[in-house]
Amino acid sequence: MIGEKACVKFDRLVHERSDRALSQKEELFINQHRAICTACAQEEELSFMAFDMLREAVLEADVDSGHFDLRVVRLAKVQQAKESVRYWSPALIGGAVACLAVFASLKLASFDGSVKKTHPPVGQARRVITSFPDLELPNVIHRNP
Ligand SMILES: [Zn+2]
């Protein structure tokens, strides 16, 4: 009963096995198909190896070896984090874009502020300078006598 349909079903069940408990019938199908279809058996082994390597890499990163309970808790947390990241990733991307926009506008605002801060003294100084000729003090003094 090796056929494309059976291989597809095998592949699906192997992947579903990590998410839910398979029924006895499904387990039996997997075992039977693995025995008769070397391609699927090899693929299952490869994906298991890749998954184990990934899991080991994550677990070895910052948990002492020997603390099996901690490892299990850690794995559960990693799994949860992965799922929540997958769930929230569109929101996270949106949030990151919003943060960048806010950051950019803050940068712009602070840049504008610093320009405005340096301007008033210059303007005042100019006003003082330009207001002197307007007074025309010498003329006033000259006219008086
Ligand atoms: Zn197969």
Examine residue 145 and state whether it is found in any structural domain, yes or no.
no
Q: Is the pLDDT of residue 113 over 70?
A: no
Whether the model pTM is above 0.85? no
% of the chain at pLDDT higher than 90: 23
- Kindly state whether residue 142 falls inside one of the protein's structural domains: no
Residue 57 CA to ligand 1 centre (angstroms): 29
Are residue 81 and residue 114 in the same domain, yes or no?
Answer: yes
Residues 80, 126 within the same domain: yes
Which carries the bigger pLDDT value, residue 83 or residue 132? 83
Report how far ligand 1's centroid is from the alpha carbon of 121 (Å). 81
Domain that holds residue 17: 1-62
Closest by CA to 59, choosing from 33, 85, 37, 79, is: 79
Across residues 91-109, what is the average pLDDT?
A: 73
Query: pLDDT class for 120, splitting at 50, 70, 90?
Result: low
The answer to whether position 75 is within a domain reads: yes
Number of domains forming the structure of the chain: 2
Check if the beta carbon of residue 55 is closer than 8 Å to that of residue 74. Answer: no
* 13 domain-assigned: yes
* 29 CA distance to ligand 1 middle (Å): 11
- Looking at 40, 62, 84, the residue that finishes a domain is 62
**Closest listed residue to residue 34, CA positions, set 6, 62, 15, 59:** 6
pLDDT at 15: 87
pLDDT at 105 over 90: no
Ligand 1 centroid, distance to 92 Cα (angstroms): 39
Same domain, 78 and 34: no
Out of 62, 85, 100, pick the residue that ends a domain: 62
Residue 4 carries which side chain, given as an amino acid letter? Answer: E
Does residue 144 form part of some domain?
no
